[in-house]
Amino acid sequence: DWSSDVCSSDLDLVPGQSIRVVAGPFADLMGRLEDMTDAGRVRVLLDILGGCTPVMLPRQNVVPADSFL
């Protein structure tokens, strides 16, 4: 599982930023970061079935949309 190699720093993420999910059931989906919690989770809006769906994910499962792995 390579998702543990993703940088876990919150310094590269800001609310409103476009993100890409890199692990888990939503891997390869794009979304928008809504919020980050102190518990290491992020709330993102994912475009699923034509609608924006709020999802809570582990921080290590998302990266900025313009980052390269």
CA distances to 19, 28, 59 from 41, rounded to whole Å, are: 14, 18, 5
In this predicted structure, the answer to whether residue 9 has a pLDDT above a threshold of 60 is no
- Residue 2: the pLDDT is 44
DSSP string, 48-59: ETTEEEEEEEEG
Give the integer Cα–Cα distance in Å for 12 and 38: 16
Over residues 28-50, the pLDDT tens digits come to 999 999 999 999 999 999 988 88
Confidence of residue 69 (pLDDT cuts 50, 70, 90): low
- Residue 48: the pLDDT is 87
